[in-house]
Amino acid sequence: MEGKVYAQVYSLIRVERDGLIEALKELSRIGYDGVEIISDNSGGLSVPEFNALLKELKLNVIAIHGWGSDDEINMAKACGIKYLAFDAKIENYKRETILKVCRELNEKGRQIRDLGMKLAIHNHADEFLWVEGEEGKTRVYDLLLSETDPDLVGFQLDVGWAVLAGADVYDYIEKNPGRFPLIHVKECDHVAKDPAEFEHFPPEIVKQIKRDEHGAPIFTDEIKAQLYETRSWNKGLGQGIIDWKRLTDLANAQGCDAFISEREYYHFDGSDGTAVSAAEFDYKFLRSL
């Protein structure tokens, strides 16, 4: 695969604002075509300095993954970033609640489009829960797809979380052409037996997390260790249950711009247990497709 192999910097630095410059240098050394950054973090550099560094490292920033804030929108515009990715904030799984979220996403997507960019909704596992009263028939993700405007709202399909939730990712891509400009590449070794596994941040850990002045979570070493162990389903690419050749062929056929490796877990066969080693493994696997 040429020209579409990207990495989410989260894979190397999680959500800390320190360490971005070093992470970018490592990803450039490995050979990635570009990155997705977290929020408006530029590593303390001004926008011109940041753009100059990216040019020097030959890295394209395809997307910002954040919260859809004005700071993120302004940075994306100044850096020529194509996509703004964030989660759909859904309080409950009633149809009317989800439809309200879809209307809000369309409006946000229109704002972003008018600035020359596109919104891309990122998922975890809970978007694949059933709509209340429509169990076995309609998933939350189904409504997000059907009730948002394709011209305004795209999707950044996180394959690992979707497969963990039991979703047929191949079917979603094939039946919704053009809706998935970004794919988050993440392996999964099983389908969850209990929706409790769907939690991105398990409740018993969430209550320990504090937030900074930007509203971003602050992860202590203890919390990071706890979260890490909940991610052991994220094996090395090709070591789980996902058919990556089939998936990337389908995604490319419908116009995917980037396959973005996002790594939750580093201890798998072929890695020495470090973030950099895992990033190198993922890069080689993606290039081989």
DSSP reduced 3-state for 104: helix
Mean pLDDT of 106-115: 97
Token pair recorded at residue 280: 């190198």
Average pLDDT of the residues in 15-21: 82
Coil/strand/helix, residue 132? coil
Give CA–CA dist 123/161, Å, rounded.
7
- The angle formed by the CA atoms of residues 149, 152 and 158, to the nearest 5 degrees, is 90
Structure confidence at residue 233 (pLDDT):
96
**Confidence (pLDDT) at 15:** 64
Q: Is the pLDDT of residue 123 over 70?
A: yes
Work out the pLDDT band at 10, boundaries 50, 70, 90: very high
Note whether 195 and 129 are within 8 A (CB): yes
Q: Is the predicted pLDDT of residue 71 greater than 70, yes or no? A: yes
* Tokens, residue 42: 């530029």
- Position 195 scores a pLDDT of 83
Residue 20: the pLDDT is 96
What are the pLDDT digits (tens) for 215-234? 878 888 898 888 889 999 99
Q: How far apart are the first and last CA of the chain?
A: 5
More confident residue, 203 or 273: 273
Pick from 58, 63, 45, 54: which is nearest to 8 by CA? 63
Judged by phi (left if over 0) then psi (alpha if -120 to 50, else beta), residue 106 lies in: alpha
Torsion angle of the four alpha carbons 90, 215, 165, 64, in this order, in degrees rounded to the nearest 10: 100
Return the pLDDT at 185.
98
Is the confidence at residue 288, as pLDDT, over 80? yes
pLDDT at 204: 86
C-alpha 272/C-alpha 265 separation (Å) is 12
User: Rounded to the nearest 5 degrees, what angle is found at the Cα of 145, between the Cα atoms of 217 and 136?
Assistant: 95
Q: How confident is the model over 126-184, as pLDDT tens digits?
A: 999 999 999 999 999 999 999 999 999 999 999 999 999 999 999 999 999 999 999 99
- Phi, psi dihedral angles at 192 (to 5 degrees): -60, 140
pLDDT digits (tens, 9 = 90+) for 21-32: 999 999 999 999
- Predicted confidence at residue 217, as pLDDT, reads 80
5-288 has CATH 3.30.160.150 classification:
no
The single-letter code of the amino acid at 169 is V
Instruction: Name which residue leads in pLDDT, 15 or 38.
Output: 38
Return d(Cα 66, Cα 226) in angstroms, integer.
23
Helix locations, the chain, DSSP H:
10-13, 20-30, 47-57, 70-79, 95-113, 140-146, 159-164, 169-175, 203-206, 221-229, 244-253, 275-288
pLDDT at 18: 85
Categorize the per-residue pLDDT at 115 as very low, low, confident or very high, splitting at 50, 70 and 90.
very high
Structure-token match 């579409």, residue found = 4
Supply the mean pLDDT for the chain: 95
Task: Report the alpha-carbon distance of residue 50 to residue 37 in Å, rounded.
Answer: 12
CB atoms within 10 A of CB 96: 9
User: What is the C-alpha to C-alpha distance for residues 289 and 249, in angstroms, rounded to an integer?
Assistant: 9
> 95 pLDDT band (50/70/90 cuts)?
very high
- Indicate the SS3 state at residue 62: strand
